[in-house]
Amino acid sequence: MAAITGEFGLEAKIASSKISFERVNKIYRSKKNEVVALKNINLDILDNEFLCVVGPSGCGKSTLLKILGGLDDMTSGSIVLNDRELVGPGADRGMVFQGYSLFPWLNVEENIAFGLKIAKKPKEKIKEIVDRYIEAIGLEKFRKSLPKELSGGMKQRVAIARSLANSPEVLLMDEPFGALDPETKSSMQLLMREIWEVERPTILFITHDIEEAAFLGQRVVIMSSGPGEIKETIPIYLPYQRGLALKDDPQFISIKKEIDEIIHR
């Protein structure tokens, strides 16, 4: 593997591209009108990269993610994952949405173990993985709790752990912290960043929150609407290990400003 431990972690750029969108278009047609949700999207997601997509409401972010997840089809173009053209949904793409999609009748450890059981992993292996992720999300005391006994932030921690436990090729996250209060949101961002710094999963993270995109991403893709297009992709030159104090750093503030300017250009 290429060196990925440099100052900014951006050396992953020399690593290979894991996912490629090639001239992807998506048009929603109804009797009354036609919406070009995605226009000529060319995008590479690199192996082990934390890639954020930011843009105003309606610019096609969710459409992009749903197509990659196989939940929606494209009008034209193709997506290649590990050199193979994508067709339909698959367990190789884990998803986390804003709503908490946990199984209400399963407790925390059962929720995290769910995909591993389906994949018929050996019992000891499942326990090892579940323990590791319960620790990573700091919910050791809640392993036997049902989702209804958890706060919103805790539920979302479980959803993230459940997706990561299946070691997906890529983790797809669509505004996963959009419904959380600011404080919980910040702590979730920190958790996500810490998990990524250690485990290096490939992540496509969608948000309309510029600060969130700048804090989490190694690169940020900026989209515009009507039609949904990629305006620009920028590398984020911030330290590899990021803490919440970074948000007050002048460099961070100027990156946020830069993204904001590109959005409103």
| Choices 8-16, 59-67, 152-160, 237-245; region in contact with ligand ADP by CB under 6 A | 59-67
The one among 2, 16, 28, 199 contacting ligand ADP by CB under 6 A: 28
Q: Which does 28 bind (CB under 5 to 8 A by kind): ligand ADP, Mg ion, none?
A: ligand ADP
Minimum distance, C-beta of residue 164 to Mg ion, in the bound complex (Å): 22
Which amino acid type is present at position 69?
A: G
Which amino acid type is present at position 53?
A: V
Minimum distance, C-beta of residue 57 to Mg ion, in the bound complex (Å): 7
Q: Which does 214 bind (CB under 5 to 8 A by kind): ligand ADP, Mg ion, none?
A: none
Q: Is 37 in the site for ligand ADP (CB under 6 A)?
A: yes
Q: Which does 69 bind (CB under 5 to 8 A by kind): ligand ADP, Mg ion, none?
A: none
Minimum distance, C-beta of residue 95 to Mg ion, in the bound complex (Å): 13
Which amino acid type is present at position 94?
A: G
The one among 27, 35, 80, 106 contacting ligand ADP by CB under 6 A: 35
Nearest to 35 by CA among 26, 44, 45: 26
Nearer to ligand ADP, 176 or 228 (CB): 228
Kindly report the CA angle at 198 between 96 and 221, in degrees rounded to 5? 50
Cα–Cα distance for residue pair 9/56, rounded to 1 Å = 27
Q: Is 62 in the site for ligand ADP (CB under 6 A)?
A: yes
The one among 147, 153, 176, 228 contacting ligand ADP by CB under 6 A: 228
* Long-range Cβ contact pairs of 257-264 (< 8 A, separation 24 or more): 258/234, 259/54, 259/210, 259/213, 259/214, 259/220, 259/222, 259/234, 260/210, 262/222, 262/231, 262/232, 262/234, 263/54, 263/55, 263/56, 263/210, 263/222, 263/224, 263/231
Q: Which does 35 bind (CB under 5 to 8 A by kind): ligand ADP, Mg ion, none?
A: ligand ADP
Bridge-partner residues for 232, per DSSP? 222
Cα–Cα distance for residue pair 145/107, rounded to 1 Å = 5
Binding site for ligand ADP (CB under 6 A): 28, 35, 37, 55, 57-63, 228
